[in-house]
Amino acid sequence: MEQIFDILQNNAYPGRGILLGQTPDSTRAMIAYFIMGRSENSRNRVFVPDGAGLRTEAFDPAKLTDPSLIIYAPVRTLGGQTIVTNGDQTDMVHDALARRESFQAALRTRTFEPDGPNYTPRISGLLEANGGYTLSILKSAEGDPAACRRFFYEYDRPLPGQGHFIHTYQQDGDPLPSFVGEPRLVATMDDIEGFTQALWTSLNPDNKVALFVRYVTLATGETETRIQNRHEVTQCES
């Protein structure tokens, strides 16, 4: 089991990342989602609460040049389920679940992002009310836009103190290489404030843009949320 802070400190550009897991005290599920950016357009974003979910918006609307792949709802909820993704597939998965279709079936209709030569993977997660979760990555076949590779990882019985972390890019590069392998097994923390601050500090200071962390009490469904933005002070809500 790795420390997510070490992973991030040793990677200047993991891109966008999703962590799902369970706290060491076994009473809460946890979600973390972050975005990074190298261009002015990508860095010109903040996370904003949207009901029980989350959306991105331009920090300075006058500097927004292309919203197509950067403005979306990363987090939405449906009953006791929480959906977290790095793109517009959040809404698609939400609507599919509302029609009683599966997370996997919904994502089989999608591919990676059309941003060659990077062909950024679409990463997605689904947290269930009982704390079980699924992670997915849709990526090109070694950079070949003619072929998509779809992977699904199901964790129906999470273990206390453990989480699984997946991110879009293996490392910085030109073009950016897609994440390789299974989601990484990482340690979690009981303290949401300490975890949020340590995670934010671990992200590369030049490239980090925004961070969302949520803990969900399994017995009641109550949530505690932290949002950290590059362009403004930390927001908190319970």
Report how far residue 56's alpha carbon sits from residue 74's, in angstroms, rounded to the nearest whole number.
7
Q: Please compute Rg for the chain using Cα positions.
A: 16
DSSP 93-135: HHHHHHTT--HHHHHTT--S-S-TTS-PPEEEEEE-TTS-EEE
User: pLDDT tens across 144-200, in order?
Assistant: 999 999 999 999 999 999 999 999 999 999 999 999 999 999 999 999 999 999 999
Which pTM was predicted? 0.94
Rounded Cα–Cα distance for residues 55 and 182 (Å) = 27
Beta carbons within 10 angstroms of residue 81's beta carbon: 16
Query: Three-state DSSP class for 164?
Result: strand
pLDDT for the residue 233: 43
For the cut 70, the answer to whether the pLDDT of residue 235 exceeds it is no
Kindly report, residue by residue over 87-129, the tens digit of the pLDDT: 999 999 999 999 999 999 999 999 999 999 999 999 999 999 9
